[in-house]
């Protein structure tokens, strides 16, 4: 067993870590591999408290801030098996119920399909695509089809996943630094403007919604399943062209499925077969401590190079300083390593501890003494630590998404030259950029991009999310700005945030603290006159009297009487909710020139009012 033994933890700490790890995975940034999560941490909670409420919860997908849809049937998690013995126990439970119902064992067939490692979703009868969400409600992500996601369902409703073909990812995107195809699917869904790296993938049809009903499958009896347990898994996985996370096995007998039913967590008539990844041992050479945007200092293990799952591995994550201490890591320690999901190297076990534990005492970026906050080391020099400045600036430009040229190397050069805040960057001219080492042409481009980022249309929730305030990602920023304008956030209280659905006491406190620390910068940036598309306030939309007040509208095509962004702003001012794509909740589609036939056909199918731009203008008058 790994020395990172959760048996030493209190239950509250164990559950908190499980929640953090689950959320990180769903957001596309895993902090621990799947097997360690299941076998070590989750298994300890199951042993200690099998009735704990966490074990009954659905593994939630992230909230993408789009419309909420209720599922006609709950989208549950799946019970897991890591051995033929565990699968046999599941078979025994199914057969026990079959005996009760006098159902002949020979009449029960089993099918096995690959368990896709993507973004779980369901294609509905009304033509909408919804994420799993919390299992009862999900986000409407139908707009991903307009962006280029291929719908393999071809109009057939069913549960499936958003995935990218493995070959395409390996050939075109892995070398750009993306860790896993799932992250790309999340990125496509979670942004109004698609990342340039993903545009070609969408054009090439490599990002798809794949229903499980369309996939290749194995079919046989319970005896076949147990006798050929490993071979069946291998056969199913080799036939799949997408990233996988095991094999789903389920019975096909309708009456027995009904009798078996479900728990609040999973269906009793299906199970996921999973295997541990291949592991190898290696020796730690050194520990490198990296300071992140928030000041947290995380350890990366430099190890003797090993070949693992077709890749050379020389660096392994150790997650946090508490891990280094608990596992007694340092130079000379021997560890067993695996590539989680065939991508991220993780520690599986510690075979030999270090003679001396290596824990950083000062920040490698600024030299500040580090302090402990739970299991993390933290550099509290937030205002002048170069690493924190660089990561904060990089986060802003990445989330804002409208400024080219401000990558990690450029930001590193700016910070080294003393241009180390957003205020300084946006007030710099071409000469200032030349003085810190940029060429004349690049300096001109940087200034031009900054000016463009101010004038181009930018959603206010994206602008707010770019400041990296804890608990305020893009989805939560949008939810907050539905109740308060961005200017009002200077005087908002924790209690007011807690009144909004989805914000609890701890997250609300974190937001207040984060806003307090960053408000000077936010205020300064607002003063530059960014062209922000304001999120309609729910309270104002209900109060405005106009022909479109309270209606959900979509603008499509080239507009004559003004730009589309201007018309959207005007519609919002008149109390309408402007949507990015047509859905069953849309009330009106306003058409300019050259509207795509697909969008019109969808509106006609859903019975949505379709109106030309000139008729829309007459309606407003």
Residue 110: beta bridge partners? 220, 251
Alpha-carbon distance 146 to 158, whole Å?
19
d(CA 35, CA 186): 22
Gap between the Cα atoms of 486 and 88, Å rounded: 57
Catalytic residue (choose from 3, 10, 80, 115): 115
Distance of alpha carbon 370 from alpha carbon 322, whole angstroms: 13
Are the beta carbons of 368 and 289 closer than 8 angstroms?
no
User: What 3-state DSSP class applies to 358?
Assistant: coil
- CA dist 198 and 26 (Å) reads 19
Closest CA to 42 of 75, 9, 74: 9
Give, in order, the Cα–Cα distances in Å from 515 to each of 305, 327, 400, 494.
44, 37, 18, 11
Chain centroid to Cα 497, Å, comes to: 23
Whether 502 and 478 have beta carbons less than 8 Å apart is answered as no
Q: Are 299 and 92 in contact (CB under 8 A)?
A: no
Residue 551 and residue 619 in contact, taking contact as beta carbons nearer than 8 Å: no
Q: In this structure, are residues 380 and 371 in contact, taking their beta carbons and an 8 Å threshold?
A: yes
The Cα 554–Cα 586 span in angstroms is 7
Whether 115 is catalytic is: yes
Q: Are 131 and 61 in contact (CB under 8 A)?
A: yes
What is the Cβ-side half-sphere exposure of residue 341, based on CA atoms within 13 angstroms? 25
Q: Which residues are catalytic?
A: 115
């Amino acid at each position: 067993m790994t020395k990172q033994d959760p048996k030493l933890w209190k239950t509250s700490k164990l559950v908190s870590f499980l929640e953090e790890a689950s959320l990180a995975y769903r957001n596309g940034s895993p902090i621990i591999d799947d097997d360690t999560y299941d076998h070590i941490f989750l298994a300890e909670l199951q042993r200690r408290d099998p009735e704990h409420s966490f074990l009954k919860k659905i593994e939630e997908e992230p909230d993408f801030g789009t419309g909420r849809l209720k599922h006609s049937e709950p989208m549950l998690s799946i019970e897991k098996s890591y051995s033929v013995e565990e699968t046999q126990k599941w078979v025994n439970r199914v057969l026990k119920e079959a005996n009760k119902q006098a159902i002949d064992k020979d009449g029960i067939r089993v099918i096995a399909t690959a368990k896709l490692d993507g973004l779980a979703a369901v294609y509905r009868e009304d033509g909408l695509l919804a994420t799993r969400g919390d299992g009862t409600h999900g986000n409407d992500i139908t707009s991903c089809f307009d962006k280029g996601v291929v719908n393999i369902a071809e109009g057939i409703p069913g549960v499936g996943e958003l995935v990218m073909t493995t070959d395409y990812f390996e050939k075109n995107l892995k070398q750009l630094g993306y860790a896993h195809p799932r992250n790309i699917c999340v990125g496509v869904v979670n942004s109004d403007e698609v990342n340039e790296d993903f545009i070609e993938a969408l054009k090439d049809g490599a990002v798809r919604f794949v229903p499980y009903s369309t996939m290749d499958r194995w079919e046989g009896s319970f005896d076949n399943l147990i006798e050929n347990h490993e071979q069946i898994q291998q056969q199913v996985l080799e036939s799949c062209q997408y990233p996988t996370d095991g094999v789903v096995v389920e019975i096909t007998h309708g009456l027995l499925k009904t009798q078996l039913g479900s728990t609040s967590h999973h269906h009793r008539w299906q199970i996921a077969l999973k295997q541990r990844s291949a592991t190898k041992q290696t020796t730690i050479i050194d520990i490198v401590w990296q300071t992140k945007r928030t000041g947290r200092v995380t350890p990366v293990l430099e190890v003797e190079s090993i070949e693992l799952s077709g890749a050379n591995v020389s660096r392994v994550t150790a997650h946090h300083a508490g891990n280094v201490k608990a596992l007694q890591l340092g130079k000379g320690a021997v560890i067993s390593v695996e590539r989680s999901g065939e991508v991220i190297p993780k520690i599986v076990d510690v075979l030999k501890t270090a003679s001396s534990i290596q824990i950083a005492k000062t920040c490698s970026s600024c030299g500040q003494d580090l302090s402990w906050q739970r299991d993390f080391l933290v550099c509290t020099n937030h205002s002048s630590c170069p690493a924190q400045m660089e990561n904060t600036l990089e986060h802003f430009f990445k989330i804002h998404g409208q400024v080219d040229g401000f990558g990690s190397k450029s930001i590193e050069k700016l910070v080294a030259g003393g241009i180390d805040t957003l205020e300084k960057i946006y007030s710099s001219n071409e000469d200032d950029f030349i003085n810190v080492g940029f060429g004349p042409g690049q300096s001109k481009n940087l200034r031009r991009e900054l000016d463009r980022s101010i004038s181009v249309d930018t959603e206010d929730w994206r602008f707010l999310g770019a400041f990296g305030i804890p608990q305020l990602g893009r989805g939560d920023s949008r939810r907050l700005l539905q109740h308060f304008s961005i200017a009002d956030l200077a005087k908002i209280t924790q209690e007011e945030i807690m009144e909004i659905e989805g914000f609890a006491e701890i997250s609300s406190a974190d937001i207040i603290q984060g806003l307090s620390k960053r408000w000077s910068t936010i205020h300064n940036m607002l003063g530059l006159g960014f062209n922000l598309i304001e999120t309609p306030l729910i309270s104002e939309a209900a109060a405005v009297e106009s022909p479109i007040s309270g209606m959900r509208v979509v603008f499509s095509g080239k507009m004559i009487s003004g730009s589309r962004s201007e018309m959207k702003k005007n519609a919002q001012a008149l109390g309408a909710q402007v949507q990015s794509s047509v859905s069953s909740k849309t009330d009106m589609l306003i058409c300019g020139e050259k509207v795509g036939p697909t969008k019109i056909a969808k509106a006609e199918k859903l019975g949505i009012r379709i109106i030309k731009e000139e008729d829309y203008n007459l309606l407003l008058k």
